[in-house]
């Protein structure tokens, strides 16, 4: 009856091509941070004027410190 939770991921890692998982989203700044499951890189996206997210940078350290999204 009860199915395990599956997280939706969009995109793949810049380095190792494994799936990304949502780490944090900020609606006021129109940004989101996605984390790689395999290598641990953080991918930073910013929403453009059309409404699509564009990759702005990839880093090993998250800049926010609030933790993963639940």
pLDDT tens digits, residue range 1-43? 445 566 665 778 888 888 899 889 998 999 999 999 888 899 9
pLDDT over threshold 50, residue 47: yes
Q: Is residue 2 in a domain?
A: no
* Token representation of residue 56: 């702005």
State the burial class of residue 33 (Cβ atoms within 10 Å of its Cβ: 0-12, 13-18, 19+): buried
Q: What is the pTM of this model?
A: 0.73
Q: Is residue 70 in a domain?
A: no
> Domain count of the chain?
1
The more confidently predicted of residues 66 and 54 is 54
Q: What is the rounded CA–CA span in Å between residue 52 and residue 68?
A: 22
Q: Is residue 3 in a domain?
A: no
Domain that residue 34 falls in? 20-59
Q: Is residue 67 in a domain?
A: no
Q: What is the rounded CA–CA span in Å between residue 58 and residue 62?
A: 10
């Amino acid at each position: 009856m009860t199915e395990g939770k599956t997280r939706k991921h969009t995109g793949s890692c810049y380095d190792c091509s494994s799936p990304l998982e949502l780490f944090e989203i900020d609606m006021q700044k129109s940004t989101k941070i996605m984390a790689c499951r395999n290598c641990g890189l953080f991918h930073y996206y910013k929403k453009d004027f059309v409404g699509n997210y564009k990759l702005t940078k990839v880093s090993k350290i998250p800049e926010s410190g609030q933790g993963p999204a639940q």
